[in-house]
Amino acid sequence: MHKSTSGSLGPSGLDLTQAFFKPISGAASPSSTKRHTKISVIGAGNVGMAIAQTILTQDLADELVLVDAKPEKLRGEMLDLQHAAAFLPRTKIIADVDYAVTVGSDLCIVTAGARQIPGESRLNLLHRNVALYRNVIPPLAKYSPDTILLIVSNPVDILTYVAWKLSGFPSNRVVGSGTNLDSSRFRFLIADHLDVNAQDVQAYIVGEHGDSSVALWSSISVGGVPVLSFLDKQEIAYEKETLESIHKVVIDSAYEVISLKGYTSWAIGYSVAALAWSILRDQRKIHPVSVLAKGFYGVDGGDVFLSLPAQLGRGGVLGVTNVHLTDEEAQRLRDSANTILEQQSQLGL
C-alpha cells in the first residue's frame, strides 16, 4: 500500500532519476542533519482525513503517514490525496495497516476511536476505546520512542490519560486536543457579539472537553481590553445568564453540527493542524489543551488530564500559563477534574 518507489517508471521499475538529472560539478551528498518532518495520523475517518488534508495544505510535513484498520478505504484516501500533488506542497504520502510504517514519526496524531452504539452507556464506550488504545499506543511508542502523541479521540481527556499510561512517555510528550476548538468557538461567538475579528479576542475554555468545561470570563480581553472590567468601569450592566448562555452554545456547538451533517471535521482539522504547527515549528504559542493538570489551580485528587492554557513547542508541553482565575472559576475547574477522575477510576489502569 506504500507509495511507489521514487524515481522508478513503468512495470519494469526502470530508474530514470540519474538519466533525467545530471549532478552539478563538485556536489556533496545531502547533509544527514537536514530536518525531515514526519507526521502520522492514526484513523482515516472524517476527522483524521480533515486533519491530514489541512496538514498538507499548510506544508507542515515532509512525510505524511496514514494508518487505519480498513485497507481499502485507507488506500482510497491515500490515492485521493496523492492525486492532488500538483496543487500542494511536496509531501510524501504513504498509508498502511501496519504500524511499522510510522517509524521515526515526529508527531503521532490519534483520531481512531470506537463509535457509540445506540443505547450504549458512556462507560461501556469508554472501555471499548481503552481496549482499542491498547492496540494503538504501544506500537506507536515502539516505532517512534521520541515522538509526541497528540490525542484527538473522544473522550479526549481520559484517552489522553490512557495514552500517557500505555506509552510510558513523559507527560510533556502526551497532549490532548482538549478545548482548543471549544475556545475557538468561544472566541467566534464573542467576536460575533461585538462585531470584531475573532483573532483580536483572547478567551479560553478550560477543564473537560465536555459538559463540565469552564469559561474563563474574568480573563477575556478584546484588543487588549479586559471585557468585564471595562463593563464594570463604564457601569454597563450585563447579566450572568447571558454569559452562561454563550458558554452553553459553545458546549452544544458540536452536537448541532453533528445533527446537521452527521459529524464534525473541518473545524477540528484546522484546530489540530494549528497544534501541530505550534509543536513542530517550535512556535511556543499558548493553546488550551489537555495536559497533566495535577498541582495546578488546586487540582490534587490524582493524575488527571484536562485543558489548561499551555505553551507548546518542539518539546511538547513546555509549561502551563499562570492565568488568574476567580475563586468560582477555580472551583469549577476542580469540579471538572473530579468529574474526569470519577470516570477514570472505573478503568482499572
Catalytic residue selected from 36, 209, 247, 324: 209
Integer Cα distance of 273 and 48 in angstroms: 11
State yes or no: 180 annotated in a binding site. Answer: no
State yes or no: 168 annotated in a binding site. Answer: no
State yes or no: 48 annotated in a binding site. Answer: yes
* 247 flagged as catalytic: no
State yes or no: 45 annotated in a binding site. Answer: yes
Integer Cα distance of 174 and 153 in angstroms: 13
Q: Check: CB of residue 169 under 8 Å from CB of residue 141.
A: yes
Beta strands in the chain (DSSP E): 8-9, 14-15, 38-42, 63-67, 92-96, 107-110, 148-151, 174-176, 201-202, 205-206, 214-215, 221-222, 225-226, 285-292, 305-313, 316-320
State yes or no: 177 annotated in a binding site. Answer: no
State yes or no: 46 annotated in a binding site. Answer: yes
* Inter-CA distances, 299 with 89, 268, 319, 330, Å: 44, 27, 16, 9
Parallel, antiparallel or unpaired: strands 205-206 and 63-67: unpaired
Integer Cα distance of 271 and 266 in angstroms: 9
State yes or no: 153 annotated in a binding site. Answer: yes
State yes or no: 154 annotated in a binding site. Answer: yes
State yes or no: 44 annotated in a binding site. Answer: yes
Active site residues: 209
Residues annotated in a binding site: 43-48, 68, 129, 152-154
Residues annotated in a binding site for NAD(+): 43-48, 68, 129, 152-154
